[in-house]
Amino acid sequence: MTSTLENQPAPSAGPGRAVREVGIAIIGSGFAGLGMAITLKRRGETDFVLLERAGDVGGTWRDNTYPGAACDVQSNLYSFSFAQNPDWGRSYSEQPEIQAYLQRTADRFDVRRHCVFGADVSSARWDDDARRWLVSTAAGDFRARVLVSAAGALADPTYPDIPGLDTFAGTVMHSARWDAAHDLSGEKVAVIGTGASAIQVVPAIQPVVGTIAVYQRTPAWVVPRTDHPVKPWMRRLYRFVPGFQNLVRAALYLFREFLVIGMAKNRRFLKPVGKLAQAHLHRQVRDPKLRRALTPDYTIGCKRILISNDYFPAVAAPNAELVTAGIAEVRPHSIVTTDGVERPTDTIVLATGFHVTDLPIAEKICGRDGRSLAEVWEDGMVSNRSATVAGFPNMFLLVGPNVGVGHTSMVYMIESQVAYVDDALQTMDAEGLAVLETTREAQEAYRELIAEKSKGTVWLGGGCASWYLDKHGHNSTLWPDFTFRFRKLTKKLDRENYVGTPAVPAQRPEVAA
Co-location of 318 and 172 in the same domain? yes
Are 174 and 314 in the same domain?
yes
State whether 380 and 413 are in the same domain.
yes
pTM over 0.85: yes
The full DSSP string for 19-70 is EEEEEEEEE--SHHHHHHHHHHHHTT---EEEEESSSSS-THHHH---TT-B
Does 213 share its domain with 286?
A: yes
* Residue 327 structural domain: 165-220+258-350
Which residue(s) pair with 213 in the sheet?
190, 321
- pLDDT at 59 > cutoff 90: yes
* Domain end marker among 317, 350, 383: 350
**CB neighbour burial string for 467-478, b if at least 16 within 10 angstroms, e if fewer:** bbbbeeebbbbb
Same domain, 395 and 496: yes
Q: Which residues contact 154 (CB under 8 A, 6 or more apart)?
A: 60, 64, 176, 354, 356
281 lies in the same domain as 414: no
**pLDDT digit string (tens) for 130-141?**
999 999 999 999
* For range 422-430, the mean pLDDT: 98
pLDDT band at 8 (very low <50, low <70, confident <90, very high): very low
Q: According to the model, what pLDDT value does residue 505 have?
A: 60
> Within this chain, do residues 375 and 343 fall inside the same structural domain, yes or no?
no
C-alpha 213/C-alpha 74 separation (Å) is 30
What b-and-e string marks burial along 492-502, b requiring 16 or more CB atoms within 10 Å of the CB? ebbeebbeeee
Q: Three-class SS of residue 155?
A: coil
> CATH no. for residue 285?
3.50.50.60
Question: Which among 350, 365, 388 is the end of a domain?
Answer: 350
The verdict on residue 482 lying in a domain is yes
Choose among 19, 11, 28, 21: nearest CA to 47.
21
Does residue 378 or residue 213 have the better pLDDT? Answer: 213
